[in-house]
Amino acid sequence: MPSSANVLQVGPLKPSLAETLRTRYGAQTLPTDAAARAEFLAGPGADITAVVTSGRTGVDAALMAALPRLGAVVNFGVGYDTTDMDAAALRGVGVSNTPDVLTDCVADTAVGLLIDTMRRFSAADRYVRTGQWSGGGTYPLTRQVSNSRVGIIGLGRIGSAIAKRLNAFGCTVSYHNRREVTDSPYTYVGSAAELAQRVDVLVIAAAGGDATSKLVDATVLDALGADGYLINIARGSVVDEAALVAALRAGRLAGAGLDVFADEPHVPAELLTMDNVVLLPHIGSGTVQTRAAMEELTLRNLDEFLSSGRLVTPVLQPGARV
């Protein structure tokens, strides 16, 4: 692909993807220094037609406005809440993501995190490594996973894959969505708080963004209760993190398993010392196979846009102004 493709990388990406963008497409990288960025946007930025970014960085309205020829934001990842979709729609800028290819790995992560949190396997590993077991200690009893009541917030592709896996554990699954899923075998519940009140474990698999910001707040956490567990493999923004820390600190929640946080990579210091909390560095899709598939789909979207002006897996097709 010639350098005239005018592709811009925004934010860090998988090294092999960044290298392909540089060598095959002649992509430039948006400077992080404010002065250098302003200089770039006043010059070469005027010719940029496609941006490749990730769900951790995205493209806000100000950057879109500074790229007058921008036609598509190609996103490496399923989440796109860091890209301003209203601004994209107003400007006719297409947005793509990489759905389906990461569903299995993220669902596996959710179930693994749920098991680890309820059985406290990570804490038990530390118990052995620090010599407490050999010193004559008895590790405390934990909670059974099989036959638990599990509530899922967000019964999309990933939420459904999580539910399917939990069926094998004999779990009773219910869910909350913006709307009821037709023909779903699971019980629909009209609010997050009501769902939390009914279950032993609440799993968050909802998309991020303004519509779900702090959806799981103090009220929902109190409904989940002192015997309840929270698992989040979606976006940190969906949880009121301060309320979560307060509930855990006060013993109003039994435990939490978190792969995502409100201000990544920063994690509230209080969580670091809690043995009933399992912390992962946003690795839900972090397998060799899945990241390769995500990279391939990202490049397919970019190629399709550059050749036809369309996207393979659009969230919003280019030119679809509203």
The pLDDT tens digits of the residues spanning 31-86 come to 999 999 999 999 999 999 999 999 889 999 999 999 999 999 999 999 999 999 99
DSSP codes, 181-228: PTT-SSEE-SSHHHHHHH-SEEEE----SGGGTT-B-HHHHHHH-TT-
Q: Are residues 141 and 96 in the same domain?
A: no
**CATH number of the domain within which 9 lies:** 3.40.50.720
- What are the pLDDT digits (tens) for 174-205? 999 999 999 999 999 999 999 999 999 999 99
Q: Are residues 258 and 134 in the same domain?
A: yes
Q: Are residues 273 and 186 in the same domain?
A: yes
* Domains of the chain: total: 2
Q: Are residues 162 and 233 in the same domain?
A: yes
pLDDT confidence of residue 321: 56
- Look up 235 and say whether it is catalytic: yes
pTM to 2 decimals? 0.90
| Tokens 């792969």 -> residue | 259
Q: Are residues 73 and 174 in the same domain?
A: no
pLDDT confidence of residue 36: 97
The average pLDDT across 153-173 equals 98
Check if the beta carbon of residue 119 is closer than 8 Å to that of residue 143: yes
| Tokens 């769902």 -> residue | 195
pLDDT confidence of residue 320: 67
Q: Are residues 20 and 145 in the same domain?
A: no
CA separation for the pair 27, 19 (Å, rounded):
9
- Look up 264 and say whether it is catalytic: yes
Catalytic residue among 264, 270, 296, 321: 264
Q: Percentage of the chain with pLDDT > 70?
A: 98
Catalytic residue among 91, 235, 295, 304: 235
Q: Are residues 226 and 169 in the same domain?
A: yes
Count helices and strands (H / E) in the chain. 11, 13
Q: 165 — alpha (psi -120 to 50), left (phi > 0) or beta?
A: alpha
Model confidence at 2: pLDDT above 80? no
CA separation for the pair 34, 20 (Å, rounded):
26
Q: Are residues 160 and 268 in the same domain?
A: yes
- Supply 265's token pair: 């990579």
- Look up 266 and say whether it is catalytic: no
Full domain range(s) for residue 83 = 3-101+289-316
The average pLDDT across 12-27 equals 97
Q: Are residues 33 and 149 in the same domain?
A: no
Catalytic residue among 91, 120, 176, 282: 282
